[in-house]
Amino acid sequence: MANVLGIDIGHESLKLVLVSGKKIKKTVVAEMPENLVKNGIVVSQETMGEFLRETMKANGISAGKAALVMMGERVYIRNVTMPLMTGDQLLYNLPYEFRDYITEELKDYIFDYAVRSVNEEERTIDVLAAAVPKELIESSRAMLRKAGLKLAKAAPLISSYRALIREYETKNETRDYCILNLGYQSIRMDVFHGEEYLTTHVLDTGLSTVERMMAETMGVDEHIAHTYLITNHKDCQDSDECKNAFTNIAVELMRTMNFLRYSMQDNNLDEIWVCGGGANISNLKAAIAEQLDMPVYSAWEKFCQDANKNVEEGDSLLQAMGILQDM
């Protein structure tokens, strides 16, 4: 069976998952060149393609096709209820559902959808709709060609999570999920009921906040502080300054969770599943568990039980793994 490469491009790292069928053959988390990604946008697709090619070569990765997680402020996701209609009619009408969100020309976007449910009695259909700039798709194709890859699939982050949930629930009961991506620039909270996407909340704080504090306190460069934090240099994660920073992040998350519980009173959110670069920082997870009064688990170990629980840096690879589902 042919190899397919799942790709997730983040601010701090490039995540790759190479699979053949359902079997993971190789995983890579590579540090990104400085300033290549800003606000979720790749600044130079050509440079990114070269970096991807070099990373694949350095790690012995060979693949013909790739699945890419689409990120950035210009990628839109909406839950939409529409009159019952055919697939062609849905694609024709979807752009109008985004006209209050997209300030650019609608004709410059590609629209797609996934059916959530159909109500025959009321003659309505609920869909998860997505809008992605055509230019972003084409530039992504060019980037992958630079690395010797063909774009086989491109989908927003939510699609990765939905696919993982769908696979997970073939062996487990439907439940509510709160997936917490502990990222560098921000922390993202995505909530689902089963594979039904409900809402997203983004906190404009992340590991960079902690690193800036460490840099100032320790008198070092922020890049050095980043390395110190991730490697827990001299047990820096146990310092009072770091613990206070972790608690501040957890308090903000608690406020968001309180809002969710108030606005979604029928939810059964009783666990937090974490992923991202901060998922391996035990004191951060402990602070979140304490403030939210909920257990915190590894999303990779929950979702990828049959893949390989022991994949190094698995929680950073979750989105790259999810985008490969249904291929």
What pLDDT is attached to residue 177? 96
Tell me: the pLDDT tens digits for 148-161? 999 999 999 999 99
Question: What is the C-alpha to C-alpha distance for residues 32 and 87, in angstroms, rounded to an integer?
Answer: 40
pTM over 0.85: yes
Please check whether residue 319 is in contact with residue 282, taking contact to mean a CB–CB distance below 8 angstroms: no
Host H or E run for residue 240? helix 240-263
Q: Which domains does the chain have, with CATH numbers?
A: 3-73+140-165 (3.30.420.40), 76-134 (3.30.1490.300), 172-303 (3.30.420.40)
Question: What is the C-alpha to C-alpha distance for residues 6 and 53, in angstroms, rounded to an integer?
Answer: 14
Q: Point out the residues of the chain with pLDDT beneath 50.
A: 309
Contacts of 73 (CB under 8 A, 6+ apart): 39, 40, 41
Question: What is the C-alpha to C-alpha distance for residues 247 and 109, in angstroms, rounded to an integer?
Answer: 41
Provide the sign of the torsion angle of the four alpha carbons 18, 22, 23, 28, taken in this order: positive
What pLDDT is attached to residue 235? 95
Question: What is the C-alpha to C-alpha distance for residues 132 and 63, in angstroms, rounded to an integer?
Answer: 25
Strand partners, 196: 193
Tell me: the pLDDT tens digits for 58-96? 999 999 999 999 987 789 999 999 999 999 999 999 999
What pLDDT is attached to residue 110? 95
What pLDDT is attached to residue 69? 96
Please check whether residue 31 is in contact with residue 16, taking contact to mean a CB–CB distance below 8 angstroms: no
